[in-house]
Amino acid sequence: MSEIRRVVLAYSGGMDTSVILKWLQITYACEVITLTCDLGQEEDLEGVDGKALSTGAIKAQVEDLREEFARDFIYPMFRAGAIYENRYLLGTSIARPLIAKRLVETARANGADTVAHGATGKGNDQVRFELSVNSLAPDLRVIAPWRIWDLKSRSDLVAFAEKHGIPLSSGSKRYSMDRNMLHLSFEGSELEDPWLEAGPESYVMTVPPEKAPDSPEYVEIEFSGGDAVALNGERFSPAELIKRLNILGGRHAIGRIDMVENRFVGMKARGVYETPGGSILFAAHRDLEGITLDREVMRLRDSLIPRYSAAIYNGFWYAPEREAIQALVDKTQERVSGTVRLKLYKGNVLPVGRKSPFSLFRQDLATFEKDEVFDQAEASGFIRLNGLRIRGYRSDLID
């Protein structure tokens, strides 16, 4: 195997990736370029490039990917109605393929032969990063330090950082957290015991329901081709719209789940997720489909949701099966345009009205009043024909 000359590292500026930066240089005698992606995590990234350079990086890139993330990753996922194990809206999962894409592009642009990440050997992120890189650049090597180095604990990392003059933040976090514009996840601390209630420090993007307003708030979301384009009559870019929905949802305690999920690597793990804006968007989109999607088209699309969601969760965003499902999904969304009115109240998102120029709802057919278009007597033949199979199966009960 040829030597490693130049590595592009997914870099947050925290202790783990700062230690990885220096460890890569020492272990492989290589050059390191850092890539920091702004995905709407609401962190101050000022100075993160300077920290990388002072730690030894030959180049430090900080990129604003918020609009690309919302437009090309979150929105396609929401068009598909993706939800993992019927609860998780895939906030961490959907960010990884974009970071991997930029790692590959940065490696290509800078003549790097290797990329590196800070995901651990127990988690899903290592799979997501590496399968994405495999899909986009199978010739690039991937280094996952947590799987090969001899640093086994936080104390080991602190000692390494102090030895090599890497500055550490003064505070410590209670939880292991991942944040972007779509969500904030919490793991660790008391959450490692599935019986214990999550502590108050795990409320960041949302308030507890008991602190939400006592009066509901109504909002209207407009969609075009399955994508949200306007909020309360005002048009916004995808990233800006999600940001505004986060504020609304957080204020009303919307979008918080506490679950034990099945990781791809084979273990169960507990996590708390805050997805306020995404939960509103998910509910509104689903409701609008109720009047714009044909019944059989909806059933076909819905049958693919578990497969599509698992593809994202397990790291197969760039796999051919996800792309094939996406093509079908996008075809179903061509008429998912219109407006949904929702009531936000104490953790609930309640659709209360919907309208669309492509509505399949016919009031003259659905009415309980007298109508001139439906002959109720025709239902007898419909029921009898559908009962042929059942009556034949139960023929043993006929005297």
Q: Which of 66, 79, 96, 301 is catalytic?
A: 96
**Is 165 strand, coil or helix?**
coil
Amino acid identity at 233: G
Neighbours of 360 (CB within 10 A): 12
Q: Which of 16, 49, 178, 287 is catalytic?
A: 16
Task: State both tokens at 218.
Answer: 């109504």
Q: Is position 287 annotated as part of the catalytic site?
A: no
Q: Please, what is the Cα angle at 343 between 338 and 345, to 5 degrees?
A: 150
User: For tokens 């086994």, what's the residue?
Assistant: 152
Task: Provide the 8-state DSSP code for 140.
Answer: S
Q: Is position 389 annotated as part of the catalytic site?
A: no
Task: Provide the 8-state DSSP code for 345.
Answer: E
Q: Is position 176 annotated as part of the catalytic site?
A: yes
- What is the separation of C-alpha 51 from the centre of its chain, rounded to a whole number of angstroms? 29
Q: Which of 125, 178, 227, 287 is catalytic?
A: 125
List the end-to-end C-alpha distance of the chain, in Å, as a whole number.
80
Question: What is the 3-state secondary structure of 342-371?
Answer: EEEECCEEEEEEEECCCCCCCHHHHCCCCC
Q: Is position 96 annotated as part of the catalytic site?
A: yes
Q: Which of 176, 189, 244, 359 is catalytic?
A: 176
Buried b / exposed e over 3-27, threshold 16 CB at 10 Å, is: ebebbbbbbbbebbbbbbbbbbbee
Task: State both tokens at 297.
Answer: 């088209």
- CA 12 to each of CA 16, 41, 237, 364: distance values in angstroms, whole numbers, following the listed order: 8, 11, 26, 58
Catalytic (active-site) positions: 16, 96, 125, 176
